[in-house]
Amino acid sequence: MCGICGLFDTAGHGGADERALRAMNGKLFHRGPDGEGYLLDGPVGLAMRRLSIIDLPGGGQPVFNEDKTLAVVFNGEIYNHRALAAGLKAKRHVFSTACDTETLVHLYEEYGEDMFSRLRGMFAFALWDSRRKRMLVARDRLGKKPLCYSFKNGRLAFASEMEALLESGVASREVDFTALDLYLGLQYIPAPLSIFKDVRKLEPGCFISAQAGSCEIKKYWELRPAGNSLSGGYDDAVDLVRSKLEESVKQRLEADVPLGAFLSGGVDSSAVVAFMARNSSAPVKTFSIGFEGETASELPFARETAKRYSTEHTEITVRPDMLSVLPMLARHYGEPFADSSAVPSYYVARETAKHVKVALNGDGGDEAFCGYPRYATLSARAGLLALPAMLRKSVASVAACLPQGKAKRFGLSLDRTLSELHFNAISYFGAAEKRRLYSKETAALLDGNMRGAEDYIGALFTRAACAGALAQMSYCDYNSYLPHCLLAKMDIASMAASLEARSPFLDHELVELAFALPAEYKTGGGTGKRILKDALRGIVPDSVLARPKTGFALPLDSWLRGELKDFWTATVLSDGARRRGWFDAGYVKSLQEAHLSGQADNGRLLWSLMMLELWAAEYNI
């Protein structure tokens, strides 16, 4: 686990800029405080910072093949590396280390671009083939590990984080307003876009092939149901889910350093801890976090699971120092990011890192088994969308005349597509709000189009090519919200604390299995995770299985009316923000006033504007 970066002058202008490479790597220190490594080979420069997890004495990078014609820098873990190494050794490949990184160079020697289908893990890596003068830069299937890059005037630069990439001298800091518009609609910027025009984020399941003046993006994996996973009925599927999840957890227990688990008290993290306990010879180290003044703490539920499995449990109660942590997080994310759960994620990672170097978590369980309430709600609503269009429009017209309330909202929703309903459930600023928010200059830069986020979600629903509302929503989240928001959040929050986070629910074989399950296996009785909960009965406490879904977010509404009110004003209504002129200052102020008076709950909108301005201040925009 580490941070990686690199340079490649594909146009033959000269050698790699060592000074720039070292500056890039310096910005990644937090991702790997245990060591660093460099390779300079003519037009190519590779660098990395190491967080030592496996083969502590022999796992330094770059790692080479036998004749040193191949070199790789790697961020992540290959969970099946031992089996891969055994097969490669049988084909006469000679290994000089016991680390998973070395598997990559020998796989490439043996299989070329077909190597990716054999990897099971999380990764971002760059492999330099000096004989063919070719660079491969790859990202894992689900997007667990990040990779941003810039290709300009024949020069390729890449890095694990945006701040490091900007040290390359390849990319400018010119803002991409299409990306800004997407951020305001979604709370994050989806790949391949970034907030900077010259920077792109490599999409999950893709790799870059660069050589001789070219930089081609290729896709090696797309989410599709596993072909042979559904023989038998529901009970067989329950057994299969249980065994596959336990296998995934077991694979992620390999480490030459102490490891533990985040335990929130929810179904997913409790399941991970349960299977860790079943496959560990020593008590599992678990970590839970609460905040001072919290009215609905999850600590009691986490405590119950910890007691059930006799874990070595640590409870952390903190009072967030928002004035210092928010600018720090804005800098680490490298672009505007408004998921407020980044704050508790950072705090639990920071405290956990005082005890262990690796922590397992429950990320991905909601996407795999449809745990978000919107899945059940919108799936049920989707049946009504099959009614004749004229009938739905008539009902919507009548609903428009009703007073505000559930009946009005329900009637109006009948005149929406499933993708529009899905977007409404997840969106921040919609098109109507943006028309009032943007200055004339910003609106002109967008050619008056305020529907970028809606169109992005709609395109994913069109691309889904799968039957059923549940499958379409799941496909959309796997290709948007999960990789570009949740996984980005956890990677940056954990690595800012020099902690490796592993996610058993994001094993691609488990994901393919879950995606292939019939909708009725996942939702039942108006709630999600039916089959997962049945697979966990007798393993996870019944009280945990019966709990409704709760989020891991901050009490934004009350904080923005209280302790963050003045900070918000000083940040969002600053002279710098006014001079930049992106927004109508009067409308921005009215959003705060409506929130402070209780006329509206604009917490999410105010938070997204504040995180945008904090990012702009950190990057001198």
70-78 and 44-50 beta bridge pairing? unpaired
Residue 415 buriedness (CB in 10 A; 0-12 / 13-18 / 19+): middle
485 annotated active-site: no
The answer to whether the Cα torsion of 466, 472, 475, 476 is positive or negative is positive
Widest pairwise Cα distance in the chain:
76
For residue 206, give the nearest of 130, 110, 118, 142 by alpha carbon: 142
Alpha helices in 112-254 (DSSP H): 162-165, 177-186, 234-251
Q: How far apart are CA 17 and CA 101, in angstroms?
A: 25
Cβ(20)–Cβ(167) below 8 Å: yes
259-262 and 285-291 beta bridge pairing? parallel
Cβ(344)–Cβ(552) below 8 Å: yes
Token pair 């499995």 in the structure block, residue? 309
Identity of the residue numbered 102: E
Alpha helices in 299-451 (DSSP H): 299-308, 322-333, 342-352, 365-369, 373-382, 389-400, 406-413, 418-426, 431-437, 440-445
C-alpha to C-alpha distances, 240 to 223, 243, 248, 361, nearest whole angstrom:
19, 5, 12, 21
For residue 252, give the nearest of 120, 73, 86 by alpha carbon: 120
Catalytic residue selected from 2, 5, 99, 370: 2
Q: Cβ of 321: how many Cβ atoms within 10 Å? A: 10
Phi, psi at 17, each rounded to 5°: -80, 100
Which residues belong to the active site? 2
